[in-house]
């Protein structure tokens, strides 16, 4: 129960930071995708089931706030959670190299999904402009923020796991 409440809290916090604090921050025009960082971090650390669950709820929150179709963002976040969960089973979670690479790949795939289904299908084919003005700045900004957020999520997971072990000892 603690884990569920913790995930709900950090999803809400990440959503508020991403869309209120960083959206109006005058550093650069791009906004880091903190919900994506959260999704691939939990997927990488805990596996496909929790990565998909967190991704789905992050995407659903985005759908309710900004989407015109329910499931548009939920689908891509769910897929990112699943793929990073699969990759996380093959690598050590303590090293920052793989999460950083996953951040760049996840954000690029996310933005190409948005471009394909949000712009390309409507006949807006300015991929070069979208790449230089939206995708690359957001990928860099998100990657820099991953260096801060991923270790925090890893520490949160360690504390929750320790708490679960302590409470399991009481009942055994």
Whether the pLDDT of residue 167 is over 80: the answer is: no
Whether the pLDDT of residue 132 is over 60: the answer is: yes
Which DSSP letter does residue 124 get?
-
Domain span at residue 13 reads 2-160
Where residue 33 falls (left for φ over 0; alpha for ψ -120 to 50; beta otherwise) is beta
Q: What is the pLDDT of residues 49-83, one digit of tens each?
A: 999 999 999 999 999 998 888 999 999 999 999 99
**What is the predicted pLDDT for the residue at 26?**
66
Question: Is residue 94 one of the residues assigned to a domain?
Answer: yes
**What is the predicted pLDDT for the residue at 27?**
67
Question: Is residue 170 one of the residues assigned to a domain?
Answer: no
In a 13 Å sphere around the CA of 17, the CA atoms on its Cβ side amount to 16
Question: Is residue 165 one of the residues assigned to a domain?
Answer: no
Output helix, strand, coil percentages for the chain, rounded to the nearest 5.
80, 0, 20
| Burial class for 24, CB neighbours closer than 10 Å (0-12, 13-18, 19+) | exposed
Whether the pLDDT of residue 134 is over 80: the answer is: yes
Question: Is residue 70 one of the residues assigned to a domain?
Answer: yes
Whether the pLDDT of residue 25 is over 70: the answer is: yes
Question: Is residue 172 one of the residues assigned to a domain?
Answer: no
Which residues, in sequence order, are CB contacts of 28 under 8 Å at separation 6+? 137, 141
Question: Is residue 61 one of the residues assigned to a domain?
Answer: yes
Q: Which helix (H) or strand (E) holds 89?
A: none
Question: Is residue 87 one of the residues assigned to a domain?
Answer: yes
**What is the predicted pLDDT for the residue at 126?**
83
The total number of structural domains that make up the chain: 1
Going from the C-alpha of 131 to that of each of 13, 113, 152, the distances in angstroms are 28, 12, 30
**What is the predicted pLDDT for the residue at 127?**
85
| φ/ψ of residue 29, rounded to 5 | -70, -20
Among 43, 35, 41, which residue's Cα sits nearest to residue 18?
35
Domain CATH number, residue 136: 1.10.1760
- In 17-71, where does DSSP find H-type helix? 34-46, 48-66
Among 18, 112, 115, which residue's Cα sits nearest to residue 58?
18
């Amino acid at each position: 129960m603690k884990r569920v409440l913790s995930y709900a809290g950090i999803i809400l916090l990440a959503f508020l930071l991403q869309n209120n604090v960083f959206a109006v921050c005058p550093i650069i025009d791009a906004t880091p995708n903190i919900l994506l960082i959260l999704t691939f971090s939990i997927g990488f650390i805990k596996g496909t089931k929790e990565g998909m669950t967190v991704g789905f709820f992050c995407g659903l929150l985005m759908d309710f706030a900004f989407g015109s179709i329910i499931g548009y963002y939920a689908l891509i976040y769910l897929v990112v959670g699943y793929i990073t969960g699969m990759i996380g089973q093959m690598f050590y979670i303590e090293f920052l190299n793989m999460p950083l690479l996953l951040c760049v790949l996840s954000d690029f795939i996310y933005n190409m999904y948005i471009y394909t289904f949000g712009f390309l299908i409507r006949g807006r084919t300015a991929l070069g402009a979208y790449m230089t003005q939206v995708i690359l700045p957001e990928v860099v900004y998100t990657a820099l923020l991953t260096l801060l957020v991923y270790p925090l999520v890893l520490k949160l997971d360690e504390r929750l796991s320790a708490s679960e072990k302590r409470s399991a000892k009481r009942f055994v």
